[in-house]
Amino acid sequence: MILGKSNGPSYAGTPNMSASKMEVYLEQAKLRLGFVKSRVFRRIATIVVSFSLILVAIILTARLTNVGEVLPKVLGSFLPKIPTCASQNQSGEQDVWKKAEAKYKGLMSDKFTIAMQTYQRPKELNDTLKAILSEDVPSLHEVVIVWNDLETKPPANFVSKFGVPVRYRVSKHNSLNEKLWPDPDYKTQAILLSDDDVYYHPKDLEFVFQSWRKFGQHRLVGALARCATVDAYGNWAYTFCSSKVEEDIYDMILTNLCFSHISFLDYYSSNTTTMNAIRDYVDEGFNCEDIALNYVQSLLTGDGPLLVQGREKYVNFVPSKGISTKKGHMAARSRCLNDFAKMFQCMPLVDETAHIQKGVLVM
Ligand SMILES: *[C@@H]1O[C@H](CO)[C@@H](O)[C@H](O)[C@H]1NC(C)=O
Ligand SMILES: *[C@@H]1O[C@H](CO)[C@@H](O)[C@H](O)[C@H]1NC(C)=O
Ligand SMILES: *[C@@H]1O[C@H](CO)[C@@H](O)[C@H](O)[C@H]1NC(C)=O
């Protein structure tokens, strides 16, 4: 085979190509090569290849792992459907609250009243009363039994051996709102809301009250914390809280053992459109008055609640994780969280990270 000879390089396999045609061909080839080598081309190629690789990685990860379940959770946790009241500058009807605060300024601030709700559980009531009245609690002014059993006549009022009067108050109707009613006969600003099956040891009760005075007059102060967290769909979910390092917060205190300033009870019972609707909701479901009071307190003050323990653990006849852990119960409580947030038009609860416990840490 004869290789063509010209001033350009010889090209094998095209012996019949004329010299000028060959030159044009070579020029075009050089141009193409130039483009392939150009910076723009390389950048485009890099982007296209990277995108493809990322896409493949995402598809593979989604197929092979449960990221499909985790992803909405991650997104959901940043996107509650109902925004917090703080982010909306909502703090409720402050005029109603200011009036309530002014109304009770004259009540004693260095004593407290126990408002204990009971319904057809004379044994528990008796045991609880016996326990808390058995020792001197210097600041305990009065015990009011909120008697919700309208069929049965309550026992007679009496005075304990330490001089604490015990008064049975028959409710207007069997309603959970009755415990949260600001009785005009109360003589103290501090009300310890409680049920007949749970109490602080008398020695600790005075300590918890003094903690309320020092740290918690604008908060709910009590024994059992609960949590509202955002679920995978951006809804609020009711939980027992978690002490995992990355969580370690709470935003509600149950009102089965909880100090409240009487002005929060006044707001809860006030004749405003929202509170009327909330109380009706509580009566319809016979549930969630405690969640509603937590909403009221955090809405008005912008503060979270405060968990306080005595030296010993509080006493609870019914284990807190007994009937209340049932799935239906948790779902109903979660529904209350979301329905109340809609009614308040924002989520008022505020996270708290610390609690108070009686005693010293000797290091
Ligand atoms: C809330 O109030 C702050 C300061 O008064 C203001 O900067 C912010 O825009 C307000 N946010 C909303 C949602 O109104
Ligand atoms: C409580 O116990 C006492 C005896 O310790 C008894 O006399 C009283 O009737 C009991 N009350 C109720 C409501 O059970
Ligand atoms: C509640 O307010 C409405 C009007 O705002 C009034 O008509 C009604 O009498 C009030 N109810 C009570 C119990 O005060």
pLDDT at 246: 76
How confident is the model over 36-54, as a mean pLDDT? 75
Q: What's the pLDDT score for residue 199? A: 96
More confident residue, 11 or 34: 34
Nearest to 338 by CA among 86, 81, 78: 81
| Rounded percentage of the chain residues whose pLDDT exceeds 70 | 80
- Tell me the CA–centroid distance for residue 170 and ligand 3, in Å: 24
pLDDT band for position 46 (50/70/90)? confident
Top-confidence residue, 329 or 139? 139
Atom of ligand 1 nearest to the CA of 87: 13
Q: Is 126 in the pocket of ligand 2 (CB under 6 A)?
A: yes
Query: According to the model, what pLDDT value does residue 53 have?
Result: 80
CB 277 within 8 A of CB 310: no
Full-model pTM? 0.79
CATH superfamily of 94-357: Spore Coat Polysaccharide Biosynthesis Protein SpsA; Chain A (3.90.550.10)
Query: Looking at ligand 2, which residue's alpha carbon is closest to its atom 5?
Result: 126
pLDDT band, residue 1 (cuts 50/70/90): very low
What is the per-residue pLDDT for 243?
A: 78
Q: What is the mean pLDDT of residues 23-31?
A: 62
Residue with tokens 């528990």: 124
Beta-carbon contacts of residue 95 (< 8 Å; ≥ 6 apart): none
Per-residue tokens: 272: 């405003």
- Name the average pLDDT for the chain: 87
| Ligand closest to the CA atom of residue 125 | 2
Centre of ligand 1 to C-alpha 342, Å, is: 20
- Which residue CA neighbors atom 1 of ligand 2 most closely? 126
Ligand 2 pocket mutation, candidates 126, 129, 130, 149, criterion most atoms within 8 A of CB: 126
pLDDT of residue 45: 78
Distance CA 300, CA 265 (A): 12
- Annotate 269-300 with DSSP letters as a single string: TS--HHHHHHHHHHHHHT--HHHHHHHHHHHH
Please, what's the b/e burial string for 210-236 (b: 16 or more CB within 10 A of its CB; e: otherwise)? ebbbeebbbbbbbbbbbbbbbbeeebb
Range with the poorest average pLDDT among 29-43, 84-98, 233-247, 282-296: 29-43
Task: Please work out whether the CB of residue 155 comes within 6 Å of at least one atom of ligand 2.
Answer: yes
pLDDT classification of 78: cutoffs 50, 70, 90: low
Q: What is the pLDDT of residue 345?
A: 95
Q: Which atom of ligand 2 is nearest to the CA of 126?
A: 1
Residue 9 has pLDDT above 50, yes or no: no
Work out the widest C-alpha separation in the chain, in whole angstroms: 129
- Contact residues of ligand 1, CB 6 A cut-off: 88-89
Half-sphere CA count of 167, side-chain side, radius 13 A: 13
> Which residue has a Cα nearest atom 7 of ligand 2?
126
- Most ligand 1 atoms within 8 A of CB, residue of 82, 87, 88, 89 to mutate: 89
Residue 62 has pLDDT above 70, yes or no: no
Sign of CA pseudo-dihedral 283, 285, 291, 297: negative
Whole-angstrom Cα distance, residue 45 to residue 130?
Answer: 82
Res 22: pLDDT = 61
Distance 217 CA to ligand 3 centre (A): 29
- The CA-atom distances, in angstroms, between 357 and each of 215, 310, 338, 354, 360 are 13, 6, 32, 10, 9
Alpha-carbon separation of residue 202 from 72, 145, 208, 296 (angstroms): 48, 17, 10, 29
Q: Which ligand is nearest to the CA of 127?
A: 2
- 259 and 112 in contact (C-beta within 8 Å)? yes
Residue 318 confidence (pLDDT): 72
User: What is the residue with the minimal CA distance to atom 2 of ligand 1?
Assistant: 89
Residues 265-317: tens digit of each pLDDT: 999 999 999 999 999 999 999 999 999 999 999 999 999 999 999 999 999 88
Using the atom order of ligand 1, give the atom closest to the CA of residue 89: 1
